[in-house]
Structure 1
Amino acid sequence: MKIQQIRNATLVLTYANKTFLIDPMLADQSTYPPFPNSVRQDQRNPLVPLPVPVTQLLNVDAVILTHLHLDHFDETAKELLDKEIKLFVQNEADKAEVKKAGFTNIEVLTEQTKFAGVQLIKTKGEHGRGEILKLTGEVCGIVFKHEDEKTLYVAGDTVWYEGVKENLSAHQPDVIVVNGGDNQFLEGGSLVMGKEDILHVHQFAPKATIISVHMEAVNHWTLSRAELKQFAIKHEITDKLLIPEDGETYSF
């Protein structure tokens, strides 16, 4: 497999000779206002440009949307993606919304979805803790499996909680992508994983390689790459934790 970090949660994954675009946020830098009730209200989203020409991201076999928040599926993605492209969503409500945007080839992920020989297994996640979940709504992750590839778990917008443990136990992934920017509103706590969450993932799945994405790209991030790198050094997990720059690619 080959995983390219694009920006925020946007990934290009080549797996079993198929190319997947995951959670596309494709707008130019500073297109959208900042997320409210959070830090950096003077900075518009996305905070950083795409590291590759946007046209390079459109020639894929399928698109996967873990949920429909703006920083995972934005207006530019809706405009630019081929309306007939194979598009996977987490539930019927998201399917209805994506259909409104003009897409015609939409499938709801299950625990038994297959695409061109690749198993796509929907996994649960929680986009925060406590009362904030009423605002953030339902999200999912995905496990990719194929006989010729290592098992990949893209956790999506989730914090560390019992459901992630269950996903790790059930699928024993070799590679885990976590959304690790510890994004927050001013009240309500972490919306995605912070450094302690990532450490828990490592401790529960010590043999896996972890890739932390969703960093420094939208205004409400609170965990920087530099801070996470220092944390990894302190806890001696630098050999198991990758923190890519935008545009960086890993092969496994």
Structure 2
Amino acid sequence: MQLQLLRNATLKLSYAGRTILVDPDFGARHSRRALAGKSANPMVDLPMPIEDILVGVDLVIVSHLHADHFDDVAKECVPKDLPLICRAGDEEAIAKAGFTAIKPLDCYQRLGSIIIKWQPAQHGTGAVVETMGPVMGFSLEAPGEPALYWCGDSVLYPPLQEAIAATDPDVIVTHSCGALWDGTLIVMDAQQTLDLCEAAPGATVIATHMEALDHATISRAALREAADGRGIGPDRLLIPADGETVEIRAVVAA
């Protein structure tokens, strides 16, 4: 498995012979409004041209319809006939943008040798959950590949913890910038990310969704410092830079 972090939540995965684009946000730096009154968003440029990002992509996954996960530029640039997996309930809005091969994910789907499963996610706590709206996580499994669990825009809450325990993944991708909405945490912060690392000691955790939006409260450096303070080293918690590619091989049983 190869995972390239592009920016924020946008990933390009090479997995079991497929090239998967996750949550494409292609907007130019400062092309959208501020969320916390600090800076227009996104705060950084993409690390490469959009046409280079799209090379080889044969599947798109959209976890929800917030602009930092599926923006207007992506809706224009992503080929409309690519298979697109989305949260069940979002398919009508995506179809209105012209996409023609939409597959809502409400349980699981088979994609050749890959099994993709819907996983629970909660975009905050309390009243803010209704404001943020429904989201999803997902997991991927395939012979010869590490099992991947993608948490999505979620705080660490019991259903997610239970799903990770049941899935027993080799790799967990978190959104770890500690973003706030009306003072309420809406994705994981450093403490929740490290709690997850300790709850899944057999997994490599990859922290993403960092240093791209102005309502974030945790930087990469702060997360690394907090992890080091709890004895969680860079072999257990990876914090890739934008454009960086991480390669993880499946563990072969003796």
User: How many residue pairs align between the two structures?
Assistant: 246
**How far has the Cα of 1:203 moved from its partner?**
1.6
The aligned counterpart of 1:65 is 62
2:192 corresponds in structure 1 to: 197
Q: Aligned to 2:180, what secondary structure does the other structure show?
A: coil
1:118 aligned partner:
114
Kindly state the Cα deviation for residue 206 of structure 1 after the two structures are TM-superposed.
0.7
TM-superposition CA deviations, 1:20-55 (whole Å, max 9, x none): 0000000111111112xx2xx241111000011111
1:216 aligns with 2:211: yes
Counterpart Cα distance in 1 of 2:126 and 2:25: 27
1:206 aligns with 2:201: yes
Alignment partners' CA distance in 1, 2:161 and 2:180: 22
**Percent identity over paired residues:** 38
- 1:81 and 1:58 map into 2 onto residues whose CA distance is 7
Q: Per-residue CA shift, 1:93-138, capped at 9, x if unaligned?
A: 2000000101010001133211122110010110001110010111
Aligned residue type for 1:78:
K
Equivalents in 1 of 2:3, 2:97: separation in Å? Answer: 28
Amino acid at match of 2:96: K
Q: CA separation in 2, counterparts of 1:224 and 1:42? A: 15
Q: Displacement, 1:186?
A: 3.5
Which amino acid is 2:94 matched to? V
Check the 8 A contact 2:128/2:181 in 1, yes or no.
Answer: no
Q: Mean alpha-carbon deviation: is it higher for 113-122 or for 98-107?
A: 113-122
What's the secondary structure of 1:130's corresponding residue? Answer: coil
Correspondence list, 1:135-150, <5 A: 135-150=131-146
Q: For 1:1-252, list aligned pairs within 5 A.
A: 1-35=1-35, 38=36, 41-59=37-55, 60-91=57-88, 93-187=89-183, 189-238=184-233, 239-252=235-248
Per the normalisation by structure 2, the TM-score is 0.95
Q: Which amino acid aligns with 2:32?
A: Y
In 2, the alpha carbon distance for the partners of 1:110 and 1:2 equals 26
Counterpart of 1:23 in structure 2: which amino acid? Answer: D
Q: Which runs of 5+ in 1 are unaligned?
A: none
Give TM-score scaled by structure 1 length: 0.95
Instruction: Measure the CA separation in 1 of the matches of 2:146 and 2:76.
Output: 33
Unaligned runs of 5+ in 2: 249-254
- Structure-2 separation of matches of 1:51 and 1:87: 23
Compute the RMSD of aligned alpha carbons.
0.9
Residues 47-96 of structure 1 show CA distances to partners (whole Å, capped at 9, x for unaligned) of 000011111122301100111100000000001011111000011x2000
Q: Read off the aligned partner of 1:97 and give its amino acid letter.
A: A
